[in-house]
Chains A and B, each alone.
Chain A
Amino acid sequence: MNNIIKGITTTLKGLSITFRHLFASHKKRELLPASDNNYFKQLEGTNTIQYPHQKLPIPEVGRYQLDVEMDDCIVCDLCAKVCPVNCIDIESIKATEAIGQTSDGTTKRLYAAKFDIDMAKCMYCGLCTIVCPTECIVMTNQYDKSVFQLSDLTYQFSDMSPEMAAEKRAEFDLQQAERQAAKLAALQKKEEGA
């Protein structure tokens, strides 16, 4: 008998709770950043965030994906070396002379023929952003990066066309060959003089 009464009262209690929720749902969720004091106290109304139409405010310093400021990159390859999952792939070409300066005054001496980051592999450890001497590789607060093709997750930052890369390579080879020739000539002279 006690059981029956308990069963009925608890059932009614449960039904009343769901009934209250059924009619409390006209109130939509306020979009507050997670840092807001009220964030975890929003107990009334619906919890759904209608994603493409509504977005949760995120902090400016959010670290959601990598971005490279190519003009500031000196192609030192440190980020690729430190990356624990090898998601950064860099191919460099030596320039024949200094090709410019980064915004913090470092001289650039290498062309980046390829600077690919495979965001599908990235584990967001942020090591690359720490080792970067010119702070050209950073994490941005862009979190929506879904794509239809897996290959679209490989971000290509290098702005060099393959022809340009081939030209620069040839220039460097030519310079090397000239230097080699000059060196050989100097050596020959020395031997002759001796």
Chain B
Amino acid sequence: MNFYLTYFIIAIGLFGFSALFALFGVYAERKVSAFIQDRLGPTETGKYGSLQTFADILKMLQKELITPAAADKLLFMLAPAIIFIAVYMGFAALPWGPGLVPANLNLGLYYVFAIISIETLGILMAGWGSNNKYSILGAMRSAAQIISYEIPAGFAIISVVMIAQTLNLQQISAQQGILSTETIKFSGFWDVTSTGGFFAWNVFRAPHLLIAFVIYFIASLAESNRAPFDIPEAESELVAGFHTEYTGLRFALVFLAEYSMMFLVSMVGVILFLGAWNTPLPNVGPVHLATWTTGAGWGILWIVMKTLALVAVQMWIRWTLPRFRVDQLMTLCWKVLTPLAFACMLISGIWRLWLM
């Protein structure tokens, strides 16, 4: 019985975390966008407007759930749930610290990528179910974009997996710090197994993984429908894309999924490339910074900090770059990122055979 109780607690905890993160994320997004555009953003509710998103969610909870008369009611109602649950399930396999992982799966990475692909299905259901040309266009664009960008993202990930030789996210994490059971070499020549710190991170383990990280990061922007890849939502042409018809709590769920997705893809990026829950501080001589700052509590701190930093970069990019046109989007994906990702995978193979 206790066994199941922990499961429930973990599930509720993860849901609470993603909800809280979405609220914080929306607030941060508004503040970042405001500052970039020389505005102030929310200021009235709470100190510096910090309670604004809580007020917004309270407002949203009170709103009426409207289903358009001509909508496909079942698909329309199910879609937000599927979109959110697909993202939320992805959190189950992500490690938070040494020994801290909701579900320690051997196929963790594979599972995460498989389950978040279901989001596309939810988006298509939302677009089709709304029976609205804006929604269906947004959904089609979103599906085309997500499916296309899964390829470079997938190959960037495979190049890491070929170096790490495992799909278990907890093992991939452990390999990038002083807790590693195998030798880690910085750029393939310098043994940093006992030094740890940022030298042991995957991006520095092999130089081409830096490129793989950039490819993954760009593709992850596209997968979470963030600007400059936000043509599915394109407010200027499509009103709000696939979630045009959603009101109240259903809209909140779609939004929650978007922000959870941002956190999820950033966290996967951190786990695969930026040392997961390992400290960025190396052991230098007698100063054992890495040893002092490794542990379950520290792990959570490091991974959350790194992930939030990546989320901040996503926001920064969103408020800088203009939206891609659909043909530019596809060109970038198929003609630039996919060949580069293939090259990275090839180099990974060679690296693994000859340099490790």
Interface positions of A (Cβ within 8 A of B): 4, 11, 14-15, 17-19, 21-25, 45-48, 50
Asked if B320 contacts A18 (CB within 8 A), the reply is yes
Bound complex: CA of A19 vs CA of B32, how far in Å? 10
> Can you list 10 A-B pairs with a CB-CB distance of less than 8 A?
A11-B321, A14-B320, A17-B320, A22-B32, A22-B316, A25-B38, A46-B38, A46-B39, A47-B38, A48-B39
Bound complex: CA of A38 vs CA of B34, how far in Å? 23
Mostly, the A contact residues are helix
Asked if A21 contacts B317 (CB within 8 A), the reply is no
Q: Say which residue of B34, B39, B43, B319 sits within 8 Å of A18 (CB atoms).
A: B319
Cβ-Cβ contact count across A and B, 8 Å cutoff: 41
A21 with B37, Cβ < 8 A, contacts A11-B321, A14-B321, A50-B43 known? yes
Q: Which residues of B contact A18 (CB under 8 A)?
A: 36, 316, 319-320
Closest approach, in angstroms, between the C-beta of A41 and any C-beta of chain B?
14
Residue interface bits B308-338, CB-to-A below 8 A is 1, else 0: 0000000011011100000000000000100
Bound complex: CA of A14 vs CA of B37, how far in Å? 13
Bound complex: CA of A11 vs CA of B32, how far in Å? 18
Closest approach, in angstroms, between the C-beta of B277 and any C-beta of chain A?
28
Asked if A48 contacts B320 (CB within 8 A), the reply is no
Number of interface residues of B (CB under 8 A): 15
Asked if B40 contacts A50 (CB within 8 A), the reply is yes
Q: Say which residue of A11, A14, A45, A50 sits within 8 Å of B38 (CB atoms).
A: A45
Nearest to B318 among chain A residues (CB) is A18
Asked if B40 contacts A46 (CB within 8 A), the reply is yes
Closest approach, in angstroms, between the C-beta of A135 and any C-beta of chain B?
42
Asked if B316 contacts A21 (CB within 8 A), the reply is no
Asked if B292 is at the interface of the complex by the 8 Å CB criterion, the answer is: no
Bound complex: CA of A14 vs CA of B320, how far in Å? 6
Q: Which residues of A contact B32 (CB under 8 A)?
A: 22
Bound complex: CA of A21 vs CA of B39, how far in Å? 10
Closest approach, in angstroms, between the C-beta of B313 and any C-beta of chain A?
9
Q: Which residues of A contact B40 (CB under 8 A)?
A: 25, 46, 48, 50
Bound complex: CA of A103 vs CA of B37, how far in Å? 53
Given contacts A14-B321, A47-B39, 12 further A-B contacts (CB under 8 A): A4-B336, A11-B321, A14-B320, A21-B36, A21-B38, A22-B35, A23-B35, A24-B38, A25-B40, A46-B38, A47-B38, A50-B40
